[in-house]
Amino acid sequence: MAERTADAAPDASARSGGLSASLFAAARSGPQRTALRDSGDRAAWCGRPPITWTYAAAAEIVGRLARGIGAWRLPAGSRVGLWFSGGAESALAHLAVEAAGHLPCPMPALWDAGQLSAGIASAGLVAVLTEGRRGARRPAEDLAQAAMGHFGLRYLAAFGPGVPDGVISLDAMALERGIVEPVASRGLVTFAAADPTRPVYRSAAALAAAIDVHLDVLPVTADERILTLLPAHDLRGLVTGLGAALAAGASLETVIPFDEAGFRAGLMRPVPTRLVVPSLIEAALAALPLPWTVRALHVVHRAPTHLIPGPVAESAGPRRLDSLVFDEDVVLTRPGGRDLAATLAHPERAPLPRALLDLAFLDRGPVYRGLVYRGLACAAAPLPRGGVPDLDPQDWRNSGYRPVSAGGTVTGVETA
């Protein structure tokens, strides 16, 4: 049972305009393909039914939300926070902020009140979009309380239920007439190591390059869905999830919060699937038989980490992909753990798209030294209080990590 028609994938040139431009391009080329879907018991989690949006419907909602955000008359490029646990509403909010000409600043859902306040201050946020319920928490209420300590925070908005007085209803905004086409993206802001005091800026071109480098190994096709267990509040979640899906006009299904029954039900949906999981659950996943519809198993590691290289021969089952994420700088994706280990041991030999991402050793001696990288795909920098940083993609940057080896094989990366 197909969930989408065989429309053409969106033109790759649309990616230069940002994620929202990719959404609108995909809506024109394949309007009835599924764009966003929630898995699991969303009603119990946030009091709202699971969402399934086609590309046409998602583009319309994003256009309406962008029009509403535009009515706030914020200066172009204003920094707007996104405080969501994940799912379709999180993606719609991110795309709408970008489409309205502002800088989306996704923030981890697990932040407490102190971390939320610190993130608002360090990123210089003037508005924040969130949700009314998140399990036992009430983010919109927490945000309204935090806003009293931040004079520059002018607008608060949330999807319901449970939107308190003084917080704009995004549900009502999404029902208003009129949409706007997205403007060119101005980039985004994420937080290194989920630290609210370390906001990092990345341009739209740098995000597009990071997505292209990731998809260079195994492109997503428009008939696939990406089923992900990663939230989209950082580079790893955006590149492997929303960014990869929009680049191909594919479907993104999010399993957040994780619920085993919901995950199993979602996994069995008869759609060609790329399953994206954090390395922390890899051992548990090994005990779960994957259905034939899973074309690729994509395991995402965050440095520093221990790697277990896979077997030399291809085993039965889905194609294996491994990604190693260096803070908010780089997502390095290779076709399996063994190839990832080989790339870390000998980056000069790896078939990387070097015009976008190049790796080398800071000092190649008898012991592995620090890894350095350059290229547009890793062009990110700390966010200053005013404006955005100007980076030269051809400058070598120290990753802060180095490979560790055992028996002549790289088994992980550690802090240099």
Check the CA dihedral 360-363-367-371 and report its sign: negative
Say whether pLDDT at 134 is over 90: yes
pLDDT at 4: 40
pLDDT at 13: 52
pLDDT at 365: 55
pLDDT at 309: 66
The predicted model gives 231-255 an average pLDDT of: 97
The predicted model gives 236-258 an average pLDDT of: 95
The residue behind tokens 């932040």 is 111
Give the other-Cβ count within 10 Å of 154's Cβ: 15
Q: Which residue, 150, 151, 152, 147, is CA-closest to 166?
A: 147
Residue percentage of the chain with pLDDT more than 70: 93
The predicted model gives 171-189 an average pLDDT of: 95
pLDDT at 2: 35
For residue 12, CA distances in Å to 63, 306, 353, 369 come to: 21, 35, 17, 37
The 3-state DSSP class for residue 161 equals coil
| Widest distance between CA atoms in the chain | 66
pLDDT in tens, 302-360: 999 998 765 544 556 899 999 999 999 999 999 999 999 999 999 999 999 999 999 99
Say whether pLDDT at 1 is over 50: no
For residue 189, CA distances in Å to 176, 291, 315, 350 come to: 28, 37, 39, 30
Question: What gap in Å lies between CA 316 and CA 263, rounded to an integer?
Answer: 22
Phi/psi of residue 313, each to 5°? -80, 150
Phi/psi of residue 203, each to 5°? -75, 165
pLDDT at 6: 43
Structure pTM?
0.94
Say whether pLDDT at 8 is over 60: no
The predicted model gives 283-287 an average pLDDT of: 84
Q: What is the DSSP letter of 8?
A: P
Contact 87, 42 (CB under 8 A): yes
Mean of the per-residue pLDDT values for the chain?
91
CB within 8 A of 26, min separation 6: which ones? 9, 10, 14, 33, 35, 55, 246, 249
Helix, strand, coil percentages in the chain from 3-state DSSP, rounded to 5: 35, 25, 40
Confidence of residue 11 (pLDDT cuts 50, 70, 90): low
Q: Which residue, 285, 276, 283, 307, is CA-closest to 414?
A: 307
The predicted model gives 141-152 an average pLDDT of: 94
pLDDT at 312: 47
Question: What gap in Å lies between CA 89 and CA 4, rounded to an integer?
Answer: 21
Confidence of residue 219 (pLDDT cuts 50, 70, 90): very high
Confidence of residue 407 (pLDDT cuts 50, 70, 90): confident
Q: Which residue, 368, 327, 321, is CA-closest to 347?
A: 368
Stated as kind and residue range, the H or E segment containing 326 is strand 319-326
pLDDT in tens, 64-80: 999 999 999 999 999 99
